[in-house]
Amino acid sequence: MPDSTVRTVVIVGGGTAGWMTAAAIAQALGPHVAIRLVESSEIGTVGVGEATIPHIRAFNAKLGLDEAEFMRSTQATFKLGIEFRDWGRPGDSYIHPFGAFGPDLGEIGFHQHWLRLRAEGLETSIEAFSAPIVISRLGRFAHPSADPRALLSTFSYAYHFDAGLYAAFLRRYAEERGVQRTDARVADVRLRGADGFIDAIVLDTGEQVSGDLFVDCSGFRGLLIEQALKAGYESWAHWLPCDRAVAAPCHAQEPATPLTRSTALDAGWAWRIPLQHRVGNGYVYCSDFISDEEAEATLLSRLESEPLADPRRLRFQAGRRRKQWSRNCVAIGLSSGFLEPLESTSIYLIQAAIGHLISLFPDGSWDPVDETEFNRLMELELERVRDFLILHYRATQRPGAFWDARRQMAIPDSLAYKLALFEERGAVVRYKDGLFQEPSWLAVYFGQHVSPTGFNPLSAGLPAEALRREFAGIEQAIRRQAEALQPHESYVAQLCAVG
Ligand code: FAD
């Protein structure tokens, strides 16, 4: 067994996962541990993770980052949700907002009253009652109001940022706090004979770097967790068969909106992520239904301006590493598993893994209970996201071979249960306290034409005319307040202006 204290942490990989881990451990454990990060500038990073969910703000806040400095350094814009185009049916557009539909009206969800009024003839879309949807469709932005009674307090926000610049920003932060960086290639991993723990990594310079805890942030290759420790991989490709992507940035031809865009295409979907200095674009596709050349041509034909770099091709398989913590190694980032970026969750999953690692930080006794608990928590995190992603593919009326197969596929029991409850009378269950809360599920259900046959009978207790008046008032108030906000692009420019 190793020495009884974890004094040295060795991180392999300097992508988003590696530098987020280094920064967070340096902040949390400071001088108690020595942190060494090894990355290979020859190998490079994936670097296309640019869209986030609101949890990233808690991560940045924990590090004590200043929002304006962070946004300036990473060319960031704000994000109020994701616009899904053509997902339910060709021609559709709906937004998954970071915020509620309507204000809190008491015992039952706002959407139950909307379902009731809709059954009685109301034609207004539920989107008209969501402040972040109305604001983002107008291309406006403001920080949420701190007054909990205000309509403009009913939302949250995230960022789009340049992942390479974010890693560089966190690198500066981590190095200022003592993290030691080495640019070299890991050529070998040496295991101890007695217990199979990692003893040291061997660099191509000949140096051997030993440590107590090793964090594998080496990306898809899983250099430590898979190649050395053989943790195994559970594939979810039967549910999420997209296995490739091609990405290319370009200049924007329209003002940056606070929205990621996802457009369904014949063999997958395309993303559009507006940053300050460019737009990130990509096509996530299933190689059984389109060739790499066709996918690249499709992406290039959709760009709003000339590509700023050669298209980048990536391969992956949806799923998770069977053990994300094995012996004295913890996998964080792409080395731990992959779910396509349909709901921008990978950076969140990095953040979650870091949080769980810090709260279960090993004391050197290597009690297997820590490993078991970390693996349980991460399995849960991934499963919650997985089901939500599958819903987007299942609930579609799009034509075409790829989409027919998605509609007909068997789905996990946990998702079938959720769908059945919603279709009955609009109840939303969050599987084991899932990451995505009620508004997220509602947005996809309603946006993709999953409609309950009934509604909660408690709504029928309210007088119809008063409810209709209240709804009209809410709709008008949201629209009026949204229209009074500043355009998103000038809001960002003002925030990021120096001095
Ligand atoms: P990588 O970026 O691959 O970094 C691996 C690191 O390991 C590099 O520094 C590399 O040099 C190093 N390394 C590897 N081998 C060695 C070696 N032998 N020796 C030394 N160093 C080595 N996430 C989101 O949250 N939002 C998104 O919008 C989003 N979009 C995505 C789109 C696509 C197509 C893909 C594939 C992913 C997307 N992601 C997104 C995920 C996101 O990109 C990753 O989660 C994030 O970049 C973390 O990657 P990583 O640091 O784990 O791996």
| pLDDT beyond 90 at 498 | no
The pLDDT of residue 87 is above 70: yes
> What is the model's pLDDT at position 435?
86
**What element of type H or E holds 70?**
helix 67-74
48 is in an annotated binding site: no
H-helix or E-strand containing 180?
strand 180-183
CA angle 353, 364, 199 (to 5 degrees): 85
- Span 199-233, pLDDT tens digits: 999 999 999 999 999 999 999 999 999 999 999 99
Question: Cβ(346) to ligand 1 under 6 A?
Answer: yes
Q: What is the pTM of this model?
A: 0.97
Q: What is the pLDDT of residue 186?
A: 98
Q: Quick one: which H or E segment has residue 259?
A: strand 259-265
For residue 136, what pLDDT band results from cuts at 50, 70 and 90?
very high
Mutate to test the pocket of ligand 1, among 21, 39, 292, 330 (most ligand atoms within 8 A of CB): 39
Span 338-360, mean pLDDT?
Answer: 97
pLDDT at 461 (0 to 100) = 86
228 belongs to an annotated ligand binding site: no
314 CB near ligand 1 (under 6 Å): yes
pLDDT tens, 379-437? 999 998 999 999 999 999 999 999 999 999 999 998 999 999 999 888 887 655 678 99
Helical segments of 129-203, H only: 131-137, 163-176
What are 387's two structure tokens? 């089901």
Say what the pLDDT of residue 1 is.
38
- Give me the mean pLDDT over the 51-58 stretch: 97
Q: Whose CA is nearest to atom 36 of ligand 1?
A: 314
Which tens digit of pLDDT belongs to each residue from 161-186?
Answer: 999 999 999 999 999 999 999 999 99
Tokens of 335: 């080395």
Q: DSSP secondary structure string, 366-417?
A: --HHHHHHHHHHHHHHHHHHHHHHHHHHHS----SHHHHHHHHS---HHHHH
The residue ranges of every structural domain in the chain are 8-76+161-236+319-382, 101-158+385-487
- As for the ipTM of the complex, it is 0.99
Mean pLDDT (the chain, rounded): 95
CA of 449 to the centre of ligand 1 (A): 35
Residue 79 annotated to the active site = yes
Residue 485 marked as a ligand binder: no
Which listed CATH number (3.40.50.300, 3.40.50.280, 3.50.50.60, 3.40.920.10) goes with 8-76+161-236+319-382? Answer: 3.50.50.60
Give the residues across from 312 on adjacent strands.
Answer: 247
